Amino acid sequence: MVSLLKNKKKRTNSSRAWLTRQLTDPYVAQAKKDGYRARSAFKLIEIDDKFQLLKPTNVVVDLGCAPGGWLQVVAQRVRKGQIIGVDLQNVVPVGDVALIKGDFTEPETVAQLLGGLGGKGVHVVLSDMAAPACGIPSVDALRITLLVRSVADFCDKVLLPGGHMVAKVLRGGTENELLSELKQKFRKVSHFKPASSRADSAEMYLVAIGRKPQESGSRWSHAGTEPQGTPHETEPQGTEPQGTPQGTEPHGTPHGTE
């Protein structure tokens, strides 16, 4: 490892730091050992172990799914359901998971996704989407807020009563207006930072559990697709939503495919 670092004299400081981190990160080693495409698989494992979201016959949508670490975890835990992954990038297939290449913020991609669901309601919507960081905290915060907003709007369309939403946000949590909206729509809303999420990363996850039935009725047919079991009522570990809008917090660099 040392020679690998020494020999590459042309590496920039940041790429050397990245390489050192990759070579010494226990989650990278464990991901390799367990056959996961990305160390980020462990973040979903931690989220699901804590909140008990995924059930074997669920319909699950994974937004920002490349290279497929979360999809691998979902496929292990949702063996008889339906899984659809969406990303800007190509993804090497994971079992019989359906994949859509496109920008989730574009109506055509959402239309394609709705077509793939064929009118079925969704039990769990996951989003690990992150726009590339520009380093200006208020801009990065706005970008991720727009992504989370688009995920929440999608949930309005497809999530079954009792269904769950998980979305990556930045330090400071979910933007206030969206957070209070979600608190009205879900039974419980928390923020959670998995141990496998790097301490120096600004990322954390919004976990919204137990979608309340929509007053005006969803456009979706819910027949035979009710969520199974009651998700656990667990408190997040010291990461309760903070009242601070994201733009006021310093941010690190959101992860790419870790």
Ligand X SMILES: C[S@@+](CC[C@H](N)C(=O)[O-])C[C@H]1O[C@@H](n2cnc3c(N)ncnc32)[C@H](O)[C@@H]1O
**Residues making contact with ligand X (CB under 6 A):** 37-38, 40-41, 64-70, 86-89, 103-105, 128-131, 255-257
* Closer residue to ligand X, CB minimum distance, 103 or 181: 103
| Least distance to ligand X, CB of residue 108, Å | 12
| Least distance to ligand X, CB of residue 60, Å | 13
φ, ψ for residue 220, nearest 5 deg: -95, 145
* Closer residue to ligand X, CB minimum distance, 193 or 225: 193
- Catalytic residues, by residue number, are 168
Write out the two tokens for 5: 């670092």
| Least distance to ligand X, CB of residue 231, Å | 21
* Closer residue to ligand X, CB minimum distance, 62 or 162: 62
Separation between Cα atoms, residue 127 and residue 165, nearest integer Å:
8
Separation between Cα atoms, residue 165 and residue 178, nearest integer Å:
13
* Closer residue to ligand X, CB minimum distance, 112 or 239: 112
One DSSP character per residue, 70-117 reads HHHHHHHH-SSSEEEEEESS-----TT-EEEES-TTSHHHHHHHHHHH
DSSP assignment, residue 132? P
* Closer residue to ligand X, CB minimum distance, 164 or 225: 164
Between strands 203-211 and 159-170, the pairing is antiparallel
| Least distance to ligand X, CB of residue 65, Å | 6
DSSP assignment, residue 190? E
φ, ψ for residue 136, nearest 5 deg: -95, 110
Asked if 148 and 206 count as a contact pair (C-beta separation under 8 A), the reply is yes
| Least distance to ligand X, CB of residue 36, Å | 8
Closest CA to 227 of 165, 179, 157: 165
